[in-house]
Structure 1
Amino acid sequence: MLADKVLRGVPPARLPIERPRLHQLILNLDTAREVGVTFTPDVLNRADQLIDSRSQG
């Protein structure tokens, strides 16, 4: 992981360019509510994961 290498002292300029192997859309609805952000139904349906404490019984 690139962040781990930087935190261990490797200069970012020495790190190779990497493409993500996996793309995921994860929406934190709890944080979105706190900052006043709303998502359209289309965006919610496209999300791979929703973080929402209200939906956890």
Structure 2
Amino acid sequence: MLALAFLIRVGVTLLGEGLDFHIPKGYIYFAMAFSMGVEMLNIRLRSRSKKDIR
């Protein structure tokens, strides 16, 4: 799911740049870093809950 979100984000950015709509790169990088951080938390919480079940 995260990879699909990255691909969509990059595609929208490229489309916007192609239409001469400037998107600051800092916004894009922050959104990617935030998504990655949330996914890492998700993975950790999922692995801990699996350990509790066993």
Fold shared, TM-score > 0.5 on shorter chain: no
More helix by share: 2
More strand by share: 1
TM-score, normalization by structure 2: 0.28
TM-score, normalization by structure 1: 0.27
Q: Which one has a bigger Cα radius of gyration?
A: 1
